[in-house]
Amino acid sequence: MKNIRSISCSTQFCAVIGNPVAHSLSPAIHNAAFEELGLDFVYVACRVEDVKNALAGMRALESFRGMSITIPHKIEAMQHLDEIAAVDRSIGSINTVINVQGKLVGLGTDGPGALKAIVDAEVEIEGKNILMLGGGGASRAIAFTLARNARLGKLSILDIDENMLRELTADLKTGTDTFIQSKLLTASSLAAEMEDADIIIHCTPIGMHPNEDASLIPAELFSPEQVVFDIVYTPLETKLLTEAKSRGLKVISGVDMFINQAVLQFEHFTGVDAPVEVMRRVVLEQLGS
């Protein structure tokens, strides 16, 4: 953590906003990276319900350089920005805001971060059937990124929010060539989709601190050769991943996506290459403590 005595009026600051946000490792990872490179930056976590006014405050503060957006604000935040990258506007979700002399520019790093985690795990997505649980901001970013970077077999999405599900499905059908199907998340729809899924990507808060003992997928629904990717990164190994591993399945941790997207955010905030290994070490130390 940056020494408070070194903070001055020239220090640029960044923040993660969300609700809840107390569990976030973003302050630890970014502050360690700032310190490693000797940058005059500091990063804090803020629980926010009023996204509009939080972003208005960012615009008004010259030193407020960057903002990370987490659950549940990744879609709503787009309404209050001045500029959004074309690819992210089509996705309909962002997780990063940069303050460029009072102009707020939004972009997303979740999708690229997730794709890199899958590639690094040597998991092939070409021609595969992907089941995505959750239709919020992160799932939007991941779904569009995968659909635009590979010819998937099909992409199935389950969620409890019918309106959100309908909007995401329509946007994916318009913006990609992938075969998309969606259903309300119920015990029966989950069981049916699990039978066809090659890769399961979990994008809901279930299993996240403080609900570490929960999982959306009963272990008996797993099939051999499936890959399970849980974007939840705290705890380090969710109940979903623990049960998938116990069935011999390949798993991808949300930690990998989290580090990848944080590296991209850091580089947008600062304009310099991120100290990736320092950031990875800090995350693993924090989660292991």
Give catalytic residues, as residue numbers.
Answer: 74
Cα 122 to Cα 146: distance, rounded to the nearest angstrom:
15
Contact present, 279 and 259 (Cβ < 8 Å): yes
> What token pair was written down for 8?
């001055």
Within 8 A by CB and 6+ apart from 162, the residues are: 184
Beta strands of the chain (E only): which ranges? Answer: 12-18, 41-47, 64-69, 83-84, 96-100, 103-107, 129-133, 154-159, 180-184, 199-202, 227-230, 250-252
Q: What is the DSSP letter of 234?
A: S
Taking alpha carbons only, the member of 217, 257, 253 closest to residue 236 is 253
Beta-bridged to residue 12, according to DSSP, are 41
Cα 244 to Cα 60: distance, rounded to the nearest angstrom:
47
Residue bearing tokens 């787009």: 78
Contact present, 165 and 204 (Cβ < 8 Å): no
Cα 276 to Cα 82: distance, rounded to the nearest angstrom:
30
Residue 26 CB-half CA count within 13 A: 28
Residue bearing tokens 């190994």: 237
Rg (the chain; Cα; Å): 19
Taking alpha carbons only, the member of 37, 11, 20, 23 closest to residue 271 is 37
